[in-house]
Amino acid sequence: MSLNLERVLYVSRARGNADSLLMQVDILATSQRNNARDDITGALLIHDGRFLQVLEGAARDLDRLMARLVGDPRHDEVTVIERTPIAGRSFSGWAMASLRVTPALEETLRAAVGGAGAPLKTVERMQDAVLAQAA
């Protein structure tokens, strides 16, 4: 375990059509390739023109990734909800899991965007969804 392992939870507004299957496939493929290279794990929810993503990794790798996201033409209004040190990964084994939108996850996204979502609860709901989808 890395001593500087951190988790970032952020939300952003999509530039362009985030609901486009082509955009989603492109984002997921790029994320999976880059995250595997940089030992970053996490999950991504794309819905209603928004991205909600949780990322885990070494602080320096997350710094580089967040800088790329801010400059990514597909993202606007990148807002970090929480960045915190963690003892272990919640998304171990997923370079980038993609979440299907369920009513509970839609509620989670709305709460996170509105500032009403508790970050840890948001991460736990995303983790539960990844595990349910993998089963």
pLDDT per position as a tens digit, 22-75: 777 888 888 889 899 999 999 988 888 888 889 999 999 999 999 988 888 887
Classified as helix, coil or strand, 102 is coil
pLDDT of residue 112: 78
Does the pLDDT value for residue 124 go beyond 90?
no
The Cβ of residue 38 has, within 10 Å, a number of other Cβ atoms equal to 17
> Which of the two residues, 46 and 20, has the higher pLDDT score?
46
Banded pLDDT at 9 (limits 50, 70, 90): very high
CA distance 99 to 40: 17
